[in-house]
Amino acid sequence: MSSVLTAQDIDVFLAFEAFDFDTTEFNDGLLAVLKAYQASGQHKLSPQERNQLVAQTKLYYFSTKTGNILDLLEYFHWKKSQQQAKLAAPADTTTNSGHQDQSPTYSSNYQNIVELILSGKPIPGIKKIPNTVLKESSKSVKQQRKKPWELK
């Protein structure tokens, strides 16, 4: 992904994952969407297409109930990176003394950004805005245009 996720984006992703979709209202809506798709004469849904349609329906329901908007593609990329991070993380985080390691684990993207900030290097995707203030505007050198009644 070319965009950097903010803490707010991640909070919305976590809220989306924790959201209760096991309601009658959602299930009725999902059933209506699936029936409408089948009634439209389209081909039979593959499991992948059905999963995509369910995800889009969940996104719509979540957005209408919470007011939070998220990009489904960014969410799927984030979720995949979270799963890969869990697989790459060691299963046992105990130290030699038997106590669990309390230091939080961060994604490699977060660690890269921290390193860039600490080293004073520019962060990709962040626009550099010059720290200047405009001075007084210069006076116009053109003569003021005459009004129609002044033309004579």
Kindly write down the DSSP assignment for every residue of the chain, as one continuous string: --SPPPHHHHHHHHHHHHS---SHHHHHHHHHHHHHHHHTTPPPPPHHHHHHHHHHHHHHHHHHHH-----HHHHHHHHHHHHHHHHHS-S--B-TTSPBP-PPP--HHHHHHHHHHHHTPPPTTPPP-------PPPPP-SPPPPPGGG--
- Share above pLDDT 70 across residues of the chain, in percent, rounded to a whole number: 82
pLDDT digits (tens, 9 = 90+) for 78-108: 888 888 877 776 654 454 555 555 666 666 6
Q: Tell me what pLDDT residue 140 has.
A: 74
**What's the pLDDT at 1?**
46
CA distances from 82 to 12, 69, 77, 87 (A): 15, 20, 9, 9
**Alpha-carbon distance 64 to 58, whole Å?**
10
**Bridge partner residues of 100 (DSSP):** 94
Threshold 0.75, pTM exceeds: no
Which residues are bridge partners to 94 per DSSP? 100
pLDDT in tens, 112-127: 788 888 888 877 777 7
Domain-wise residue ranges, the chain? 7-90+105-119
pLDDT at 37 over 70: yes
